[in-house]
Amino acid sequence: MQFAHPNGPAMQLSHSGSVITGSLLIAFAFNLLPWSVDWLWLRPDFLLLVTLYWAIYQPNRIGMGTAWWLGLLVDLTDGTILGQHALAYTTSIFVLLLLQRRMFNFPPWQQASHIIGFLLIEQLVSVLIATFAGDDFHALKYFSSILTGALCWVPLWMLLHRLRTPETSEAQ
């Protein structure tokens, strides 16, 4: 029955969550690295980038619930308003999941242009919540990490794809 098997790239499933969990823990550790106060505004959100990657390639395992809990963890470690990053991460992942099948088929350099949009959504939600809470708004401070995050996307994609590939080749 040829009609039951559509042509085109199939979404690969991983066999274990150890690679996903390990990469999220490492990304969280990178977010916790001590940066100089002068350079902190350039730090990309590594945890969100890795979460976006896994939401593209493993939407059954990483979704809005995971984004919510990871955002709460970031809120607790950054000392920000509880729920600020949680809502921002969840909103970004929600929009990504709407475009997930399209993103899955793009090469990483084209995905980077979409990643800018997801990082922008995350920053806009964070800035909106922080502004309502009474924080000062410094546009350069908040939005410069979007560009550094987009620049990190292709190397991060290559690294995570290499980690994911041995698992997916067994599934074929």
pLDDT tens per residue, range 56-87: 999 999 999 999 999 999 999 988 899 999 99
Where exactly are the structural domains of the chain? 45-171
Q: pLDDT tier at 2 (50, 70, 90 boundaries)?
A: low
Mean pLDDT value across residues 115-142: 86
Amino acid at 126: S
pLDDT cut 70: percent of the chain above it: 84
pLDDT cut 90: percent of the chain above it: 66
As a whole number, the mean pLDDT across the chain is 87
Residue keyed to tokens 């995350």:
122
> CB neighbours of 116 closer than 8 A, spacing ≥ 6?
146, 147, 149, 150
> What DSSP character marks residue 60?
T
